[in-house]
Amino acid sequence: MIYDSFTTDTKKLALLIDPDKYSVDNLTLISRLAESLQVDYIFVGGSILLSNIEHTIQYIQAYFQGPVLLFPGHANQVTNNADGILFLSLISGRNAEFLIGNQVISAPRIKQIGLEVIPTGYILIDCGCTTSVEYMSNTRPIPATKSDIVIATAMAGEMLGLKSLYLEGGSGAQTTVSTEIIEKVKKTCSIPIIVGGGIRTPEKLNEIYRSGADIAVIGNAIEDNQNLLQELVAVRNSFND
Ligand code: 1GP
């Protein structure tokens, strides 16, 4: 089970691939690199998705042997060649379509395919700009200063039986989720914590891990500069030595 690796006492690094942002050549390069550096997971998903997600996963799997997990922006992003799915409920929002609607639409297909499901409470926190997820989901992020609301949301997610929490600043966020918020969620909840959005430097990644994130997700920064991946992996490794 992929989920078992979520619960280990080590820090994990996930690379987020938005199929629309990578050419086939770039996919090959990044998948090879991710394999050679032993990136823990590749998450695949996006807000719009013009590209064929199944083909994207095929290209990744030609070189990357680790788990490829769907990180769907919508119910139509479920494919049968992934290794599992982050089954997200946008619990910071109050839009029923993203709390339960898309899940109802996609559940029968996920069951039919037999994908491993990782039920994940997706918590969007304001990080300085209007992000695609905020706009596309038509939900408001929790203000960064309202850590008590973030904690209560995380607690509710855990009490509902969700198996991980994704603290999300949004792709391309100007600032990351604060260390204060990550620390407080870590103290309050015992399920694995994924943190993503706006992580662009080794120093920031180090801070995110130190605050208690189990899995850090990097998207934009690697789209812009694949060479950064090696430095980010080195930070992860420094926690696991
Ligand atoms: C977005 O958390 C991910 O859902 C990654 O964000 O693209 O800003 O790294 P970035």
Question: Which of 77, 127, 218, 232 to mutate to test ligand 1, by most ligand atoms within 8 A of the CB atom?
Answer: 218
| CA 198 to ligand 1 centroid distance, Å | 6
Question: Which of 167, 182, 220 to mutate to test ligand 1, by most ligand atoms within 8 A of the CB atom?
Answer: 220
Domains and CATH numbers, the chain: 2-240 (3.20.20.390)
Question: Which of 30, 199, 222 to mutate to test ligand 1, by most ligand atoms within 8 A of the CB atom?
Answer: 199
| CA 2 to ligand 1 centroid distance, Å | 21
Taken in order 67, 51, 34, 227, is the CA torsion positive or negative? Answer: negative
Which residue's alpha carbon is at the smallest distance from atom 1 of ligand 1?
171
Q: Is the pLDDT of residue 172 over 90?
A: no
Residue 35 pLDDT: 98
The residue among 73, 69, 76, 68 whose CA lies nearest residue 106 is: 76
Spell out which residues line ligand 1, taking CB within 6 angstroms: 16, 168, 171-173, 196-199, 217-221
pLDDT band of 232, cuts 50, 70, 90: very high
Average pLDDT along the chain: 97
The residue among 220, 101, 236, 88 whose CA lies nearest residue 166 is: 88
Indicate the SS3 state at residue 140.
coil
Across the range 61-85, mean pLDDT stands at 97
Residue 50 pLDDT: 87
Residue 100 pLDDT: 98
The DSSP bridge partners found for residue 90 are 122
Q: Is the pLDDT of residue 49 over 90?
A: no
| CA 173 to ligand 1 centroid distance, Å | 7
Percent of the chain whose pLDDT exceeds 90: 96
The residue among 217, 220, 206, 223 whose CA lies nearest residue 120 is: 217
Taken in order 139, 143, 144, 147, is the CA torsion positive or negative? Answer: negative
Across the range 186-211, mean pLDDT stands at 98
Residue 205 pLDDT: 98
Q: Do residues 168 and 216 touch, judged by C-beta distance below 8 A?
A: no
pLDDT tens per residue across span 5-21 = 999 999 999 999 999 99
Q: Is the pLDDT of residue 98 over 90?
A: yes
Residue 48 pLDDT: 87
- Joined together, the tokens standing for residue 225 give 């500069």
Q: Is the pLDDT of residue 130 over 90?
A: yes
pLDDT band of 77, cuts 50, 70, 90: very high
| CA 48 to ligand 1 centroid distance, Å | 15
Q: Which atom of ligand 1 is nearest to the CA of 169?
A: 2
DSSP assignments along 47-60, one per residue: SS--S-HHHHHHHH
Which residue's alpha carbon is at the smallest distance from atom 2 of ligand 1?
196
Across the range 123-132, mean pLDDT stands at 95
DSSP assignments along 95-120, one per residue: -HIIIIIHHHHHHHHHHHHT-EEEEE
Cα(214)–Cα(180) distance, rounded to whole angstroms? 15
| CA 171 to ligand 1 centroid distance, Å | 4
